[in-house]
Amino acid sequence: MQDSNPFSFTIVITGAPYSSQAPQSALNFAEAAIKAGHRVERVFLYGDGVHLASALASPPSDEPHWPREWSAFLEKHSIPGVACIASALRRGLVDEGEQKRYELSASNLLTPFVIAGLGEWVEGRMTSSRTLYFHGSD
Amino acid sequence: MTEIQTLHILNKSPEHPRFTRCLSMAGPEDAVLLIENGVLGLGTASASVSGKLLALEADMAARGMGGQSGTVESVDYDAMVELTTRAQQVISW
Amino acid sequence: MSTLIVIDQPPYGGWAGREALDMAFSLAAFDQPVSLLFCGAGVNWLRKGQEPGTVRQKSVEKNLAAAPIFGVEALLADSDDCNRYGLEPGRLLDGVTLVRTDAQLFAGYSHTAFAG
């Protein structure tokens, strides 16, 4: 069913995959929002939520691969996925640029995620009709 | 379609301090949507929420509480999206 | 379109509170109106005399003291929770306003967020 009054959403995920249900709930919500004809403007990973953008997560094959499921969803709908740079660097999540800057041995950011500052969240907060948070439940 | 002042999305179990605080803050024109571990507090919540109480179907079913959907308005993700567009404000606890 | 950032986690034992502060400062840096509410165990951020060098962490006391300069409109603290943690007004950092955390308080903001 298409909604006659489309909304735009910024989705913020602060709970990590495999230690919280947040990435999973957020994905179900985002899929339903698009199905209803709304727009997901941007997904912002903050705090422990940045672990969702790890290219190295390797869950057992009979468990859902949340980073890959999110990555496929973002690519399919051309939605920017942004991991907060301060949260990401602290937790060992880096792209090639940060790898060079800090002279690290590897980078591990899953495409299409990018690393950027909290300004991306502020912008989403200002321009989207709704900014929705998915936290861990501890 | 009735207006919702604030939609409170509550994913914490009833043991979490945010659970009690959320329920005490929700006013008569608000709606509380229990998701994830929040559905475990259905009994506690239905006794104390002054506004509308809803719970996410998938999270209830996962926890063996599908049979209790008669005691609360259970919603799917499509309805959750609709609730967020009907509410003036959404707070995730 | 004012934002209320809520901190209900205690300081130093976790990072969510610090990351909530970053959210508030970031909004202020973009000239967006923002206030901070400390409630629950979060009121312990506001205790005078923190020396977190002992656990090799940075003190937030200075950050909070500079909050008005950076453009954070108000530092609010739940008065009942301050009482529960023995935080009489004299033990609180300067510039903190005691409030009741209720629906009326939240109604004054268009957006309310926790950091995690």
Q: What is the pLDDT of residues A17-26, one digit of tens each?
A: 999 999 999 9
- What pLDDT does residue C1 have? 73
- What pLDDT does residue A2 have? 57
Q: For the segment C49-100, what is each residue's pLDDT rounded down to a tens digit?
A: 999 999 999 988 888 988 999 999 999 999 999 999 999 999 999 999 999 9
More confident residue, B1 or A119: A119
Cβ(B59)–Cβ(B68) below 8 Å: no
Q: For the segment C39-60, what is each residue's pLDDT rounded down to a tens digit?
A: 999 999 999 999 999 999 998 8
- What pLDDT does residue C61 have? 87
Cβ(A29)–Cβ(A11) below 8 Å: yes
- What pLDDT does residue B44 have? 87
Domain count, chain C: 1
Arithmetic mean of pLDDT, A47-73: 98
A21/B85 CB distance under 8 A: no
Residue A15 distance to chain C (closest CA, Å): 7
pTM metric for this prediction: 0.96
Q: Is the pLDDT of residue B2 over 80?
A: no
Does residue A67 have a cis bond before it (omega within 30 degrees)? no
Q: Which chain C residues touch B if contact means CB-CB below 8 Å?
A: 8, 39-41, 101-103, 106, 110-114
Residue B48: band (very low, low, confident or very high) from pLDDT cuts 50, 70, 90 = confident
Cβ(C94)–Cβ(C65) below 8 Å: yes
Measured in degrees and rounded to the nearest 5, phi and psi for residue B11 equal -110, 10
The domains found in chain B, sorted by start residue, are: 4-92 (3.40.1260.10)
B21/C101 CB distance under 8 A: yes
A46 an active-site residue? Answer: no
A85: amino acid identity, one letter: I
Arithmetic mean of pLDDT, A25-42: 98
Residue B45: band (very low, low, confident or very high) from pLDDT cuts 50, 70, 90 = confident
The domains found in chain A, sorted by start residue, are: 8-58+65-134 (3.40.1260.10)
Tokens of C9: 């986690």
Of all residues in chain A, the percent with pLDDT exceeding 70 is 97
- What pLDDT does residue A5 have? 79
CA B54 to centroid of chain Cα atoms: 4
B92/A134 CB distance under 8 A: yes
- What pLDDT does residue B12 have? 98
Q: Which residues from B are below 8 Å from A25, CB to CB?
A: 11, 35-36
Q: For the segment A61-102, what is each residue's pLDDT rounded down to a tens digit?
A: 999 999 999 999 999 999 999 999 999 999 999 999 999 999
Q: Could you tell me the CATH number of the domain that includes residue C83?
A: 3.40.1260.10
Question: Which is catalytic among the residues A33, A50, A84, A93?
Answer: A84
Domain interval for residue C105: 3-114
How high is the ipTM of this complex?
A: 0.95
Cβ(B52)–Cβ(B4) below 8 Å: yes
Q: Which residues from C are below 8 Å from A135, CB to CB?
A: 114, 116
Q: Which residues are paired to B7 by β-bridges?
A: B31, B90
